[in-house]
Amino acid sequence: MRTPSRRTFLQTAGCGFGSLAFNALCGTGASAGSLHQKTPPIQPRAKRVIFLCMPGGPAHLDTFDYKPQSGKTEHPGSAFKFSQHGESGLWISELYPEVARHADKLCVLNGMHADTGNHAQSFRQMITGERLRPRPSMGSWISYGLGTENENLPGFVSLNAHEQFVSSGEFLPSYFTGTPIGTNGESMSLATIPNVTSDHLSQRTKRRQLDIVQAMNRDHLGSRSNDPRLENVIESMELGFRMQALAPSLLDVSTESQSTLERYRVGRNIKVGTCRPSDFGRQCLLARRFAEAGVRFIQVSHNGWDQHKNHRRDLKANCESTDAPIAALLGDLGQRGLLDDTLVIWGGEFGRPGLKPSDKKDETGHQPAGFTFWLAGGGVKQGLAYGSTDQTGSKAVEGKIHFRDLHATILHLLGLEHDKLTFPHQGRLHRLTGPEGGKVVHEIFA
């Protein structure tokens, strides 16, 4: 047998390396569907989701879970005052005065519970339904199930996510992965969207360059009959190009009125103690703009709720930096007729135990057995407090909702059946609610 020459060996090896790179680009798993808009199998109440994600564990007893005995007994409670708001009479802490003006829009879930008090695992379960293994995020599943209302934009956008919390599509086709814009408080501009910008080339040159690459891809596709992975790559590259034309105008909030920028507190970074600086107002304003433009799932993150020491000070700072922007978002969505079919979600991976009145320590821990989320719009009841924790706020006792139940409920509001929204991977079908499944909480539907 003739020994191959050095040139032949390098040529062959080069093809092998190219094949490896190509397969990595394609990803793994079968394809199903695309980003094209899809009709859900059941009548939807909502068309899109804005998830106001609060990593670290917001203190439920200091925000939305009122315990009347607080400050009067040795039971742990809140160091902050609560009062009733709106026609519904919802109890809301003094830390959220602007959100309280929208009390009659809120559906407060005080019976939330999770499996673990470990940040990373509980956060993963909140986002993906699985606490131990990497899985597609809720935004990716929703994008997979419904597609996007605007084919020039991704179905899932993640604003200012902490670098370790940037959500992944995992084994779903690559174009269902969340597009991250800004991390850890960075300025959110087109330059922060990975692999989209190329300022040294004109738009015409970029189009010609992509056409050449796509022509080769399509020629290759012709030799690989029915290869969905390559089709995914071609579609993802086209989406990236289309985003370059539309994203800059969406990210440019200078076109908004001064009064709007003021309501959202755009440009006001707040940092107290260990809290991260975050231009949260800009995120909420961008979330409204992306929702208007047809993005299916927008995740907005305000990091820094992991408050153990200096709890009162840091909690107050976090609420101060999120209160007005959230209120402005709810107000704008309502005024523009978007709240009816936009589901807004607020919450973190767990809650925090209350402080005893006699305890001079200003420290809190983790509380996964009972905590609070709230929803607004998107077909849920307004001005409702559903479920409750026990007298000390330490565990959910009524209207208990696990993350799997929350996921099943969100999917149902969007017209998707959680037990039928599946994807094949490694020999079995996977779903957001996992093998255990979830229960749709019909009681909170309007």
Model confidence pLDDT, tens digit, residues 250-259 = 888 989 999 9
DSSP one-letter code for 355: B
pLDDT, average across residues 204-233:
60
Tokens for 218, please give them: 């399509």
* Count, residues in the chain: 446
Model confidence pLDDT, tens digit, residues 68-113 = 864 455 566 788 999 999 999 999 999 999 999 999 999 999 999 9
What is the reported pLDDT for 28?
38
What is the reported pLDDT for 207?
60
What is the reported pLDDT for 262?
93
DSSP track, 229-241: HHHHHHHHHHHHH
Q: Which residue has the tokens 């439920």?
A: 60
Q: Say if strands 156-161 and 297-301 run parallel, antiparallel, or are unpaired.
A: parallel
What is the reported pLDDT for 178?
84
221 pLDDT above the threshold of 80 = no
d(CA 364, CA 345): 24
More confident residue, 246 or 2: 246
Q: Which residues pair with 429 in a beta bridge?
A: 424
d(CA 416, CA 409): 9
pLDDT, average across residues 1-11:
45
Could you tell me what percentage of the chain is helix, strand and coil, using 3-state DSSP and rounding each to the nearest 5? Answer: 40, 15, 45
Q: How high does pLDDT run on average in the chain?
A: 82
Ordered domains of the chain (ranges, CATH): 30-444 (3.40.720)
Model confidence pLDDT, tens digit, residues 149-190 = 988 888 999 988 765 454 567 888 877 888 888 754 445 544
d(CA 282, CA 379): 26
More confident residue, 161 or 436: 436
pTM score over 0.95: no
Burial of residue 237 (number of CB atoms within 10 Å: 0-12, 13-18, 19+)? middle
